Amino acid sequence: MTLIVRSESPTPERSTVWLEGRLDANTFTDLDDALRDITPMVDNNGTLVLDLSQLEYISSAGLRSLAQLRKQMHDRGGRTLLLNPQPQVKKVFDIVKAVPVKEVFASVAELDQYLDHIQRTVSGQN
C-alpha cells in the first residue's frame, strides 16, 4: 500500500494537506519529502492542517514524521492541526499521547470554529 499526499494551493496563513493510505516505515519518507516542499510556503505563525480522513494506518515511523512536522511548525510560531482521523488512527494518538487533544478535530466545521475563536482572541474581538 502506498501513501498519497495532496495539498491545495497553500496560502501564507493556512494550508491543508490530505493523506491517503498507510503512513508507515515504507511511506514516511514520501510524507517527509512532500512536507519539505509545502511547509516553507506557510508563513511563520501560519497553520498547517493535515486531513487524515483517508489515512488508514499509522506506525511509529509515521508518528515520528508528524512529531517532526509539529516541532518545525512550532519552532516557527505556527501550528499543526489534525482533521478527521479515522477511529483506528485516533486510537493510536490516544494511546501514545502523540498529539494534544486540542489539536485534533472531527470535522472541518469544528476546525473552522476553533480557528475563528483563535483569530477573534488575537484580534481582541472576544
Give, for all 126 residues of the chain, the pLDDT tens digit: 799 999 887 778 889 999 999 999 999 999 999 999 888 888 888 899 999 999 999 998 999 999 999 999 999 999 999 999 999 998 888 888 767 777 888 887 888 788 777 778 877 876
Predicted confidence at residue 104, as pLDDT, reads: 81
What is the per-residue pLDDT for 45? 86
Whether the Cβ atoms of residue 76 and residue 44 lie closer than 8 Å to each other: yes
pTM: 0.81
CB 70 within 8 A of CB 100: no
What pLDDT was estimated at residue 34? 93
pLDDT of residue 17: 94
pLDDT of residue 51: 95
CB 31 within 8 A of CB 64: no
Decide: helix, strand or coil at residue 90: helix
pLDDT at 113: 82
Distance CA 73, CA 71 (A): 5
Distance CA 27, CA 91 (A): 20
Four-point Cα dihedral 112, 105, 46, 120, nearest 10: 40
